[in-house]
């Protein structure tokens, strides 16, 4: 294991989409990660349909992971309106599940939120017009504020922001442009750039690009399981 003042190896993966039929197990991968990394980060969409049984299957697989686990939920985890039960199951399995909070492990501060949609650059959705549009923008702003509050709590010299939705457009490129606004929000990136953040991980964009940077140069990694990564594994290895 790495000491507090040494380089920390973080394995990060998103979009596991664990299904109720248990046809896919991640236990072997988690065992491998325990040998390869000091910490595992899960970047949302941990379940496929947001069912508690799916979370239970993931929790069973995580028992084979001998390193600390940090995670956030994704949009799929909300599908069956059982998010509180899913969160309880994962936390009882030892996952540091973040939703506007922070945790420090091995000298690295982790700040996590799910994030939300909203778009990027001058095409970012504005709070104007119908109440439904204002509600959508309001949710995007709320998630960015939760991320800001979490980042303010980080005391460690090194930090990682953990998201599900993308904070920059570069890591969603490869997806159909028509759905870019639903894959993330530049508000998240703008928030990150107000702090000293070492790196960012997210998922959600299954066909996006692996790496990009915020306007102020913070590295951003799309760690969705489906993305090709330099590690050659479904998970990325990030060193801080």
Non-local (6+) Cβ contacts of 97 within 8 A are 71, 72, 73, 87, 90, 91
The pLDDT tens digits of the residues spanning 165-210 come to 999 999 999 999 999 999 999 999 999 999 999 999 999 999 999 9
Per-residue pLDDT, 4: 53
The pLDDT tens digits of the residues spanning 8-53 come to 999 999 999 999 997 889 999 999 999 999 999 999 999 999 999 9
User: Across all residues in the chain, what is the average pLDDT?
Assistant: 95
Per-residue pLDDT, 114: 98
Instruction: Return the structure tokens found at 27.
Output: 């236990």
SS3 131: helix
CATH fold for the domain made of 9-239: Purple Acid Phosphatase; chain A, domain 2 (3.60.21)
Non-local (6+) Cβ contacts of 96 within 8 A are 68, 69, 70, 71, 103, 105, 110
pLDDT at 1 over 50: no
What CA–CA distance (Å, rounded) separates 40 from 229? 16
Degrees to nearest 5, angle at CA 160 with 99 and 136: 40
Instruction: Return the structure tokens found at 35.
Output: 């040998």
User: Quick one: pLDDT band at residue 223, thresholds 50, 70, 90?
Assistant: very high
User: Quick one: pLDDT band at residue 231, thresholds 50, 70, 90?
Assistant: confident
């Amino acid at each position: 294991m790495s000491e507090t003042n040494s380089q920390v190896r973080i394995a990060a993966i998103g979009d596991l989409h664990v299904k109720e039929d248990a046809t896919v197990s991640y236990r072997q991968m988690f065992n491998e990660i325990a040998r390869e990394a000091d910490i595992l980060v899960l970047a949302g969409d941990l379940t496929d349909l947001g069912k508690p049984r799916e979370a239970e299957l993931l929790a069973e697989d995580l028992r084979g992971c001998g390193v600390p686990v940090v995670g956030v939920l994704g949009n799929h985890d909300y599908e069956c309106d059982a998010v509180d039960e899913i969160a309880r199951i994962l936390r009882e399995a030892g996952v540091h599940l973040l939703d506007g909070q922070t945790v420090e492990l091995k000298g690295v501060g982790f700040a996590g939120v799910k994030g939300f949609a909203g778009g990027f650059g001058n095409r970012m959705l504005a709070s104007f017009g119908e109440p439904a549009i204002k509600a959508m923008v309001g949710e995007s702003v709320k998630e960015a504020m939760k991320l800001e509050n979490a980042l303010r709590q980080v005391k460690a010299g090194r930090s990682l922001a953990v998201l599900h939705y993308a904070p920059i457009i570069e890591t969603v490129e490869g997806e159909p442009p028509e759905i870019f606004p639903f894959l993330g929000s530049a508000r998240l990136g703008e928030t990150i750039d107000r702090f000293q953040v070492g790196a960012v991980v997210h998922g959600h964009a299954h066909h996006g690009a692996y790496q990009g940077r915020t306007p102020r140069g913070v590295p951003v990694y799309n760690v969705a399981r489906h993305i090709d990564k330099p590690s050659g594994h479904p998970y990325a290895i990030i060193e801080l």
